[in-house]
Amino acid sequence: MELERMSGWAEETEDTEKDPPPKTCWEKFHTTISNWMLPPDHRTTYMERANCLPPPIFIISISIIELGVFIYYAVWMPQKQWITLDTGITKSPFIYRPDKREEAWRFLSYMLVHAGVQHIIGNLFLQLFLGIPLEMVHKGHRVGLVYIAGVIGGSLASSIFDPHLALVGASGGVYALIGGYFMNVIVNFKDMVPLFGIFRIISIVLIVGTDVGFALYRRYISKVAGPQVSFVAHFAGGLAGMTIGYTVFSCFDKNLIKDPRFWICIAAYVAFLVFAVFFNIFLSPVS
């Protein structure tokens, strides 16, 4: 009996001394994503079903389309310079223009057109840097919902609060992703390593501050060529992300349509859409 106990103890000791198998590159990649995108209580669930199927099709596809449209207007349409686009995009059927607001598709299609190299690079960097890991965790239909909500909310808000200016760029959608992610960081801050949470918040503040600062500089200080464009979509997109985006991204392992918070946010968003449409039809100062 004593020999059996010693043998069993030796086997247990030997088992405990075995090192766990090393993580593959994909496992390390998914672990990093889960640490950045999810609170601790959801990371195990994500790792159990983590895969790259489907890949982040939405955010990559929309980025390729936006880049293609920029190249088209920069190269083939008449421009004085391609660093800051002017003549081509002002006549584009995609740009949102107050005098063309009866063409309803412009409230969405303006996201495809950008005002210059800095504009397109900034938006593409932000939406790929944040959108790819978000889509790997939450999948394309959820990321797409938040992105499009920010784009449409941005153009409608601009038509109300900055009604005389045109609008270009995907900033509304980008800021919706940032707003949703930011709210999740704030709400789950107590479950994170403090320095890690602080680093994420500081990173978001620096990125947003730099981008908004550049937009304000271009609008009020710089005398660069090209049309004046509104920056209201930045704030409206961020607000859409902090409401709809936060709700969508916090339902990682839940059925979204069964979450009452989602329907409350959707109802508020629809109410805003109805008011914005009414304003543009009956109250807009633009003739």
Q: Where are the domains of the chain?
A: 63-283
In the predicted structure, residue 152 carries a pLDDT above the cut 90: yes
**What's the pLDDT score for residue 184?**
84
CA-nearest of 155, 180, 168 to 233 is 155
Q: How does DSSP classify residue 244?
A: I
**Cα angle: 170, vertex 223, 84; to 5 degrees:** 45
CA-nearest of 159, 190, 120, 136 to 278 is 159
**What's the pLDDT score for residue 12?**
47
Model confidence at 45, in pLDDT bands (50, 70, 90)?
Answer: confident
Highest mean pLDDT pick, 113-117, 118-122, 275-279:
275-279
In the predicted structure, residue 89 carries a pLDDT above the cut 90: no
Angle between helix axes 57-75 and 140-161 (nearest 10 degrees) is 50
Instruction: Answer whether 130's CB lies under 8 Å from 47's CB.
Output: no
The least confident of 128-137, 147-156, 219-228 is 219-228
111: left (phi over 0), alpha (psi -120 to 50) or beta: alpha
Quick: pLDDT tens for 207-262: 888 877 777 777 777 665 555 667 788 999 999 999 999 999 988 778 888 889 99
Quick: pLDDT tens for 18-38: 555 566 776 787 788 887 788
Burial of 67 (0-12, 13-18, 19+ CB in 10 A): middle
Q: Pick the more confident residue, 25 or 106.
A: 106
**What's the pLDDT score for residue 17?**
44
Q: Which residues pair with 229 in a beta bridge?
A: 166
Instruction: Provide the terminal-to-terminal Cα distance of the chain, rounded to the nearest Å.
Output: 97
Q: How far is CA 235 from CA 30, 81, 130, 178, 232, in A?
A: 31, 29, 18, 11, 6
Q: Pick the more confident residue, 287 or 177.
A: 177
**What's the pLDDT score for residue 223?**
60
Indicate if 30 belongs to the active site.
Answer: no
Q: Which fold has domain 63-283?
A: Rhomboid-like fold (1.20.1540)
Q: Pick the more confident residue, 149 or 254.
A: 149
The least confident of 32-46, 119-133, 271-285 is 32-46
Beta-carbon contacts of 185 under 8 Å, excluding residues fewer than 6 positions away, are: 192, 197, 200, 201, 204
**What's the pLDDT score for residue 268?**
95
Q: Pick the more confident residue, 48 or 280.
A: 280
Place of tokens 């504009």: 119
**What's the pLDDT score for residue 262?**
92
CA dist., res. 156 & res. 207, Å (int): 24
CA dist., res. 148 & res. 138, Å (int): 15
Q: How far is CA 167 from CA 74, 188, 246, in A?
A: 18, 34, 25
Range 120-124 average pLDDT: 90
3-class SS letters over 139-159: CHHHHHHHHHHHHHHHHHHHH
Angle between helix axes 117-138 and 194-220 (nearest 10 degrees) is 150
**What's the pLDDT score for residue 3?**
43
**What's the pLDDT score for residue 86?**
66
Model confidence at 107, in pLDDT bands (50, 70, 90)?
Answer: very high
From 155, 171, 230, 250, the catalytic residue = 171
Q: What is the mean pLDDT of the chain?
A: 82
Indicate if 234 belongs to the active site.
Answer: yes
From 63, 230, 234, 250, the catalytic residue = 234
CA dist., res. 227 & res. 169, Å (int): 13
Q: How far is C-alpha 216 from the chain's CA centre?
A: 21
Range 129-158 average pLDDT: 94
